[in-house]
Chains A and B, each alone.
Chain A
Amino acid sequence: MSRVEVEKKVLNENQILAGQLRDRYRISGVLCVNLISAPGSGKTLLLEKTLERMDKAARVAVLTGDLQTENDAQRLAKFGFPVKQIVTGGTCHLDARMVEKHLAAWNLEHLDLLVVENVGNLVCPSSYDLGEDAKIVLLSTTEGEDKPLKYPSIFFKSELMVLTKIDLLPYVPFKAELAKENARRVHPQMEIIEVSSTTGEGLDKWMSWLERRREQKLATP
């Protein structure tokens, strides 16, 4: 019996496709962010408020993933920006092939920002590179403060944590400082923004984070 060293990524095919997407985004100057959270943390509502605040001439598009239904795409389409639903038919995460396929009809040269809303799940999406510039994880105040410790992989891989539903803080036992501390224990460099999509608090910070992140990307050779 002999042993052959291999040294290959298990998700090699996905990595290759994600690399191609990343190249395309770079060439076209598109910032791509991948929004990840548990179901019900407020990804779609945050996106609605984001699109609502965008200049009508903004060059933004959204891909939104779900196991079933076109509901989220319908919610997001009313703002006039290009939106496409990815129905995974049961798969618990998006992969690079699904993103590539659904991007096919769009010209990336006409975009500055592409938001991918992943399937609501804190586990599986963390393994699949979509070619994004940044993963962004949402945690809402109606969840547990220890979620970053329970799902370290996604909190480690995310550049930014958006703490949502902060308007509910007076009514829930959630300790925001503890949640932030837990996120930074998993990922000491984590950036954190607190928002309420309902009252609008913190949305300015979120919008300027996106803008700054794109400028930062364009400035990087």
Chain B
Amino acid sequence: MHELGIASSILECVQKEVERYPGVHISKVGVKIGELAGVDVDALQFGFECIVKDSELEPLALEVELIPRVQRCPKCNNEFRMADFDPHCPQCGEFATQCIGGEELDIAYMEVDE
């Protein structure tokens, strides 16, 4: 239930960008959300729509790119996408592989109307 807080952090970030470039209209903000970020994308979209409506930034779309969890094997350096909670390296079978991607909660880009 913290998606509304995350939505408002995204909105605040866009507001700051608008202050830096007065007169521009931002039509879309793109965020990257890792599968380990603990964020529900539907709840985030819903919360974002609700708060954008009451802001001077409307219309502003939110685009979410989901980032899968990627592991690296310390034995053979193989990098692989982890699925079904199986951390084993598919190349050498090592169990204790390390997570190198999937924790993202980042603003990636904004689209500006010319």
Contacts and interface: CB of A to CB of B under 8 A. Distances in A.
B95 A188 contact: yes
Contacts, number: 95
Contact of B109 (A5, A91, A124): A5
Interface residues of B, number: 35
Contact of B105 (A13, A127, A186): A127
Contact of A4 (B6, B99, B106, B110): B110
A152 B85 contact: yes
Interface residues of A, number: 34
A13 B114 CA distance: 29
A3 B2 contact: no
B10 A10 contact: yes
Contacts of B106: 7-10
Contacts of A128: 2
Given A1-B114, A189-B96, A127 B2 contact: yes
B100 to A, nearest CB: 13
A12 B39 CA distance: 16
Interface of B: 1-2, 5-6, 9-10, 12-13, 17, 27, 31, 35-39, 85-87, 95-99, 103, 105-114
Interface of A: 1-13, 91-93, 123-124, 126-128, 149, 151-154, 156-157, 182, 184-186, 188-189
